[in-house]
Amino acid sequence: MSLTALPAKLKSIGHYIKTATEHDKRDPVVAYYCRFYAVKKGIEIDSSSAECKSYLLGLMDFLEKQKQACPEDSPIRNEVIGQAHVENYALKVFLYADNEDRAGRFNKNVVKSFYTAGMLFDVLSVFDLVSEDIEKNKKYAKWKAAYIHKCLQTGETPVAGPLPEEGDEDAPQPSTFSGATAGPSSYSNQPPSQPSPPYPPPGNQLPGGAQSWPQEQPQASYQPPPPQPQYSAPQETWKPPSNPSGVKLNSEDYQRAMKLCKFASSALQYEDPTTAIDNLTKALTLLTTGKEK
């Protein structure tokens, strides 16, 4: 079965399948979750017709085999790691596009990067929770992709960054957590309030043909989380002397040594080193010789 031969009713998931194909070698984790999201949306669209059911079952079988071939700690099998991986990758794509946009470098690669970031933010919905920041950046990325593309088609110079006016619901602002600042600035041009999506039906290439991925575009690969620091006992620089007389201590000796140590601790709280040293010396003497003095 061809994973790219979409039934007509499932054309709306075409861009997610195409993005998965583009990432099969670049980042298999991203590719897996793009297809996973496509299956989820495909089932919502049509899971009863023979053609759609056959395609979706084939895609599900492909994903299951891919999952079973991965180790237990793989981000494909561990959704917690998988979510962090996809989110990190999506933010890198978004920040690349946002930085290019703010620098005034408007081209088809920026459009594609914004659009891809928006789709990857969509993909994050396969996990339990999506943060408000992700939703905000998703809306902004999709709007920016449509807006810059329309400007390139009409010859208009796009406005860099977010809109200068706060509170405009038609042109979303990016979240500040991603590294993008959403504060107002002074611009000479005003973007259209409701840009219409410039893309062809999903499943086709972007206008002008598929563009090569920019060299600056991050090529993310799975990095396992850093291991938790293991506790290691500090190197001992001092050891108590062995009992020279071989004396055996009784329970009263141990109780007395504990009291001496408590006295020393109390003295330290009052910053009285003399008393602390005296009591610690007595405790040490008792433990090594069986006598305080």
Q: Judge if 72 and 85 occupy the same domain.
A: no
Q: Judge if 11 and 72 occupy the same domain.
A: yes
Q: Judge if 24 and 143 occupy the same domain.
A: no
Q: Of 23, 53, 77, which marks where a domain is finished?
A: 77
Q: Judge if 207 and 90 occupy the same domain.
A: yes
Q: Which domain holds residue 282?
A: 251-289
Q: Of 77, 100, 129, which marks where a domain is finished?
A: 77
Backbone angles phi, psi at 202, to 5 degrees: -50, 145
- The answer to whether residue 270 is domain-embedded is yes
pLDDT, position 69 = 94
Q: Judge if 89 and 128 occupy the same domain.
A: yes
**Which pLDDT tens digits describe the chain residue by residue (293 residues)?**
566 688 899 999 999 999 999 999 999 999 999 999 999 999 999 988 999 999 999 999 999 999 999 998 899 999 999 999 999 999 999 999 999 999 999 999 999 999 999 999 999 999 977 889 999 999 999 999 999 999 999 999 999 988 765 445 566 667 654 443 333 222 223 333 333 333 333 333 333 333 333 333 343 333 434 444 443 334 444 455 556 567 778 777 777 787 778 777 766 755 678 887 887 888 888 888 888 77
- The answer to whether residue 146 is domain-embedded is yes
**Across the chain, how many H-helices and E-strands are there?**
8, 0
Assigned token pair, 249: 């201590």
Q: Is 191 exposed, middle or buried (0-12, 13-18, 19+ CB in 10 A)?
A: buried
C-alpha separations of 57 from 1, 32, 118, 157 in Å: 10, 15, 26, 46
Q: Judge if 122 and 206 occupy the same domain.
A: yes
Q: 155: alpha, beta or left, given left = phi > 0 and alpha = psi -120 to 50?
A: left
Residues 6+ apart with CB under 8 A from 249: 286, 287, 290
CATH of the domain at 152: 1.25.40.270
Q: Of 42, 57, 77, which marks where a domain is finished?
A: 77
Number of domains into which the chain is organized: 3
- The answer to whether residue 209 is domain-embedded is yes
DSSP of 135-182: HHHHHHHHHHHHHHHHHHHHTPPPPPSS-SSTT-TTS----GGGT---
Assigned token pair, 274: 């003399």
